[in-house]
């Protein structure tokens, strides 16, 4: 028999339906009957037949016609919202689409990544957030989890006094808890610590958070039971995601507030979201997916919340997006250099060998691969070949030096984030082989906090220098192009305010780049007397990266518009391909029009790495032809990344982070 979960004011009601040919109106009245039955005053409803209401699907908030039949518009276990005419939206009802993330579209996939707690990467984690994979445990991980749980069960059985297992927490570490109350102790921990505020994490970021916590627990050092861990995995694979507010962690003793909210939903309390239900009470979402809430055993509440997974999961997204935009920034800057009729002499390899920072050499190589006249003839470059200009402004000439340190910063931060992803950050640690638990401080978030502050400072410079290039493109005294890149200036304003937007974002970034990890406030009655503030470090690093993407989107639009005034001359082949990509999305600027959608569309191209996907193969080909040591010794001399189903050439080209799909690759 099909059944439906209906939200009426402050209550969620399960309504069975014997006849699916009944109307939506019938479903609404059945829900109202059940709602009134539970209220002493009938919920203020005097005559149910006089009530007028509308019915919406929770997912997508699509309004349903009351005359439609249930079988035509709903599926078994669907969630719907009943809005009574004259009511305001109930205060506890959360719209079905959490957050404002527009980056990724959830995909229900049947491919798996096996977690063992030791080999997950930031790239894997972002892909798990996108819904590209489900997860399972390796056999070795399951064995380690069982062994550590057996040790904890022995500790409880022998009435030993161990922090967090048979005692209270923080200031209450010396308070011994009776065995009969150990389950209540863990449940109370999650409830009291679920005290975060702010907007909920997006589904993608909540998936990343849950996947990372599962990965840490898979190490078998936290004392979680295999039953509880399997239920967490089932919830992840069904994309049943708890309501996790973004604010509330100080980053030591781990991300307690957000991880408590994450665990609370899995316990069947609080709110939860799934693609099928939208937002609803956790117990209903789990039930609709055939899942059971977790039932906490001794120490399991602590095992679920002690760690740096909030900082690290957001940091993983930040560093992956930073890496992607840093690659594409070189391409955009090369296009701007062409439009401004700059010289390529500053990218000569001999110059950069004299200051051999890896990032600087890498950026110079990319510029040569895109602009080398012997490799890619350019009519624009040829048109000013014999001009009297000796050198360009720093914003073009010094791209290898400025963009280069950003690349090196990203590489440094990525190493720290990937180490943190596979680190045990619980307390106490359960060492099954030694037969003991040991308290330590691996939960402290200083490592990822400092790294992400550094990332924000580093990647911001891409926007800072890009905004100056936008100024050069828009300023006719510097570009030899029409003012603000538009004809009939005065009647049309062109890119005037788009440049202002870029300047505003750069200015905002200057404030966001102030390091949060230099702050510390003592908490928990001075038990936790030094904290990392890593949660804010991660959140603001993401904001900085997004602003960088948006500024570079404006530069890319401006550079492509500049090309229009140089026609019929053409630039190099790879840069023409980039121009074509942009023009397939955004048409040339003939006269003023609504500009924000154009910026957003090109921002999306950068987030999806489409600019890199277009130009990257040309960079790889240049590597293969002009740098002998980058050539593979045989057709099979490629490094296969099994998680991402991509092949990568070794040596120099590997440092460029190129990835091109292989045919026929597979995962579990």
Give all strands of the β-sheet with 646-648 in edge-to-edge order. 639-641, 646-648, 660-661
Please choose, from the candidates 94, 422, 104, 114, the residue with its C-alpha nearest in 3D space to the C-alpha of residue 242.
94
Please choose, from the candidates 164, 252, 253, 246, the residue with its C-alpha nearest in 3D space to the C-alpha of residue 209.
246
As a whole number of angstroms, the distance between CA 470 and CA 327 comes to: 18
Structure-token pair, residue 176 = 């011994």
Beta carbons within 8 Å of 33's beta carbon, 6+ residues apart: 48
- Strand-pairing partners, residue 242, are 272
Beta carbons within 8 Å of 621's beta carbon, 6+ residues apart: none
DSSP 8-state secondary structure symbol assigned to residue 486? -
Residue pair 112/668 in contact by the 8 Å Cβ criterion: yes
C-alpha torsion angle, residues 625, 627, 633, 634 (rounded to 10): -30
Active site residues: 163
DSSP 8-state secondary structure symbol assigned to residue 513? T
Q: What share of the chain is helix, strand, coil (3-state, %, to 5)?
A: 50, 10, 40
Residue pair 316/324 in contact by the 8 Å Cβ criterion: no
Residue position matching structure tokens 């920034």: 329
Please choose, from the candidates 324, 78, 317, the residue with its C-alpha nearest in 3D space to the C-alpha of residue 206.
317
As a whole number of angstroms, the distance between CA 293 and CA 263 comes to: 10
As a whole number of angstroms, the distance between CA 164 and CA 438 comes to: 11
As a whole number of angstroms, the distance between CA 279 and CA 93 comes to: 8
Please, what is the Cα angle at 313 between 312 and 319, to 5 degrees? 80
As a whole number of angstroms, the distance between CA 64 and CA 71 comes to: 12
Please choose, from the candidates 439, 451, 384, 370, the residue with its C-alpha nearest in 3D space to the C-alpha of residue 413.
451
As a whole number of angstroms, the distance between CA 171 and CA 550 comes to: 46
CB crowding 261-277: b at 16 or more within 10 Å, else e: bbbbbbbbbbbbbbbbb
As a whole number of angstroms, the distance between CA 272 and CA 263 comes to: 11
CB crowding 90-116: b at 16 or more within 10 Å, else e: eeebbebbbbeeebbebeeeeeebbbb
DSSP output for 200-257: EPPHHHHHHHHHHHHHHHTTS-S---HHHHHHHHHHHHTT-EE--EEE---SSSSSHH
As a whole number of angstroms, the distance between CA 151 and CA 165 comes to: 12
Number of H helices, E strands in the chain: 24, 17
DSSP 8-state secondary structure symbol assigned to residue 514? S
């Amino acid at each position: 028999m099909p059944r439906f979960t209906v939200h009426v004011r402050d209550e969620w009601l399960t309504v069975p339906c014997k006849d699916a040919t009944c109307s939506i109106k019938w479903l609404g009245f059945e829900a109202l009957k059940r709602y009134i039955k539970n209220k002493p005053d009938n919920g203020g409803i005097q005559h149910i037949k006089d009530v007028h209401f509308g019915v919406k699907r929770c997912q997508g908030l699509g309004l349903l016609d009351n005359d439609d039949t249930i079988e035509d518009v709903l599926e078994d276990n669907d969630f719907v919202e009943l809005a009574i005419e004259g009511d305001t939206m109930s205060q506890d009802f959360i719209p079905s689409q959490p957050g404002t993330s527009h980056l990724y579209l959830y995909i229900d996939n049947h491919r798996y990544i096996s977690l063992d707690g030791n080999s997950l990467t930031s790239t894997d984690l972002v892909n798990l957030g996108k819904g590209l994979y489900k997860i399972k445990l390796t056999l070795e991980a399951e064995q380690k989890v069982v062994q550590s749980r057996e040790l904890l069960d022995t500790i409880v059985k022998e009435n030993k006094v161990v922090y967090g297992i048979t005692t209270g927490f923080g200031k209450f570490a010396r308070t011994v808890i009776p065995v009969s109350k150990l389950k209540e102790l863990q449940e109370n921990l999650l409830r009291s610590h679920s005290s975060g505020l702010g907007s909920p994490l997006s589904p993608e970021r909540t998936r990343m958070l849950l996947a990372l916590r599962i990965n840490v627990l898979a190490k078998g050092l936290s004392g979680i039971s295999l039953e509880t861990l399997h239920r967490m995995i089932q919830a992840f694979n069904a994309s049943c995601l708890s309501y996790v507010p973004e604010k509330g962690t100080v980053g030591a003793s781990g991300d307690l507030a957000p991880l408590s909210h994450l665990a609370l939903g899995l316990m069947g309390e609080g709110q939860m979201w799934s693609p099928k239900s939208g937002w609803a009470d956790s117990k209903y979402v789990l039930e609709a997916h055939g899942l059971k809430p977790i039932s906490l055993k001794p120490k399991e509440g602590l095992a679920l919340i002690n760690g740096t997974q909030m900082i690290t999961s957001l940091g993983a997204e930040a560093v992956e997006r930073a890496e992607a935009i840093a690659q594409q920034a070189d391409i955009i800057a090369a296009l701007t250099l062409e439009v401004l009729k700059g010289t390529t002499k500053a990218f000569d390899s001999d110059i950069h060998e004299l200051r051999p920072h890896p990032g600087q050499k890498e950026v110079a190589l990319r510029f040569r691969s895109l602009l080398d006249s012997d490799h890619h003839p350019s009519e624009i470059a040829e048109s000013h070949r014999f001009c009297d200009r000796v050198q360009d402004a720093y914003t073009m000439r010094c791209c290898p030096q400025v963009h280069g340190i950003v690349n090196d910063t990203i590489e440094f931060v990525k190493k720290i984030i990937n180490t943190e992803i596979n680190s045990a950050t619980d307390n106490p640690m359960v060492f099954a082989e030694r037969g003991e638990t040991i308290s330590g401080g691996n939960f402290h978030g200083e490592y990822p906090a400092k790294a992400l502050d550094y990332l924000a400072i580093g990647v911001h410079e891409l926007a800072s220098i890009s905004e100056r290039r936008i100024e050069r493109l828009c300023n006719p005294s510097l570009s030899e192009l029409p003012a603000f890149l538009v004809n009939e200036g005065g009647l049309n304003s062109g890119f005037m305010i788009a440049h202002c937007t870029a300047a505003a974002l750069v200015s905002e970034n200057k404030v966001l780049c102030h390091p949060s990890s230099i702050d510390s406030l003592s908490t928990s009655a001075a038990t936790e007397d030094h904290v990392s503030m890593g949660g804010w470090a991660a959140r603001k690093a993401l904001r900085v990266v997004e602003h960088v993407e948006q500024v570079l989107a404006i530069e890319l639009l401006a550079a492509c518009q500049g090309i229009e005034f140089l026609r019929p001359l053409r630039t190099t082949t790879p840069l023409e391909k980039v121009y074509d990509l942009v023009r397939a999305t955004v048409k040339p600027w003939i006269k003023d029009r609504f500009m924000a959608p154009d910026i957003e569309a090109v921002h999306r191209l950068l987030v999806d790495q489409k600019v890199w996907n277009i130009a990257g193969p040309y960079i790889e080909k240049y590597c293969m032809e002009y740098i002998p040591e980058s050539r593979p010794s045989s057709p099979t001399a490629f490094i296969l990344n099994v998680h991402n189903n991509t092949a990568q050439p070794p040596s120099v080209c590997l440092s460029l982070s190129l990835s091109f799909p292989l045919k026929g690759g597979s995962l579990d």
